[in-house]
A and B are shown apart, each in its own frame.
Chain A
Amino acid sequence: DGGITQSPKYLFRKEGQNVTLSCEQNLNHDAMYWYRQDPGQGLRLIYYSQIVNDFQKGDIAEGYSVSREKKESFPLTVTSAQKNPTAFYLCASSIVGTGRTGELFFGEGSRLTVL
């Protein structure tokens, strides 16, 4: 079955450490996205990529980095420069840009806790 796989599902990190969240899709979608969700808040866009080897900053890119070396993969690194990294991270993909239907397909998310 096609879908988006995020790993790990839960992650604990000490302050000052970088951590990389994995996102893989087999939907053959061109566009991929990373969002962050905090309690009581909407999803906020961190980075997005509409084509391999290209990506753009979203609204809250500071302290994060991404790469898009393959169509299927869009890993997110949370660096030590991110001041409040504890959050629920969601990876998504869509057909082209946000698609005419506006449908994003989300992974199950990764919960990062910084100790």
Chain B
Amino acid sequence: RKEVEQDPGPFNVPEGATVAFNCTYSNSASQSFFWYRQDCRKEPKLLMSVYSSGNEDGRFTAQLNRASQYISLLIRDSKLSDSATYLCVVRGSARQLTFGSGTQLTVLP
């Protein structure tokens, strides 16, 4: 089983739609969780950290469920500029980051 698993998609949604991605992780000792965004053929960039209580940044909401070992990212009112690959990232007890393979999102006009 992969340490971090994501649905690869692609998710094709119309502008204005709400879309949610899930990510599961296998190591129950994992300590920190993040979502990164990667545009086509570009480097990844940190989108947001995921806190135990859940957190929101504008149209983006991240949630963590430790009992079920999954993380989610919700995007409301999707924009064309949201089209990208979203990477789920987990930091384990060894303090290194493990990246999921990413979920591809395309927002259609």
Say how far A27's CB is from chain B's closest CB, in angstroms: 14
Residues 90-104 of A contacting B (Cβ, < 8 Å): 90, 97-98, 101-104
Q: Does B80 contact A (CB under 8 A)?
A: no
Given the complex, which residues of B lie within 8 Å of A48, measured CB to CB? 96
Interface size class for chain A? Answer: 20 to 34
Say how far A98's CB is from chain B's closest CB, in angstroms: 5
Contact of A108 among B42, B89, B98 (CB under 8 A): B42
Do B96 and A104 touch (CB < 8 A)?
no
The binding surface of chain B is classed by DSSP as: strand
Residues 79-109 of B contacting A (Cβ, < 8 Å): 87, 89, 91, 95-102
Given the complex, which residues of B lie within 8 Å of A109, measured CB to CB? 42-43
Do B97 and A102 touch (CB < 8 A)?
yes
Given the complex, which residues of B lie within 8 Å of A45, measured CB to CB? 96-97
B28-53 Cβ-contact flags toward A at 8 Å (1 or 0): 00001010000000111110010000
Do B95 and A97 touch (CB < 8 A)?
yes
Interface size class for chain B? Answer: 20 to 34
Given the complex, which residues of A lie within 8 Å of B44, measured CB to CB? 43, 90, 104, 106
> What is the CA–CA distance of A40 and B103 in the complex, to the nearest angstrom?
9
> What is the CA–CA distance of A41 and B44 in the complex, to the nearest angstrom?
13
Say how far B76's CB is from chain A's closest CB, in angstroms: 24
Q: Does A107 contact B (CB under 8 A)?
A: yes
Say how far A34's CB is from chain B's closest CB, in angstroms: 12
Q: Does A58 contact B (CB under 8 A)?
A: yes
Do A40 and B43 touch (CB < 8 A)?
no
Given the complex, which residues of B lie within 8 Å of A35, measured CB to CB? 99
A65-109 Cβ-contact flags toward B at 8 Å (1 or 0): 000000000000000000000000010000001100111101111
Interface residues of chain B, those whose CB is within 8 Å of chain A, are: 4, 8, 32, 34, 42-46, 49, 87, 89, 91, 95-102
Task: Please provide the 9 A-B residue pairs with the shortest distance between their CB atoms, ordered closest to farther.
Answer: A106-B43, A42-B99, A43-B99, A42-B101, A103-B46, A102-B34, A41-B101, A42-B100, A102-B32
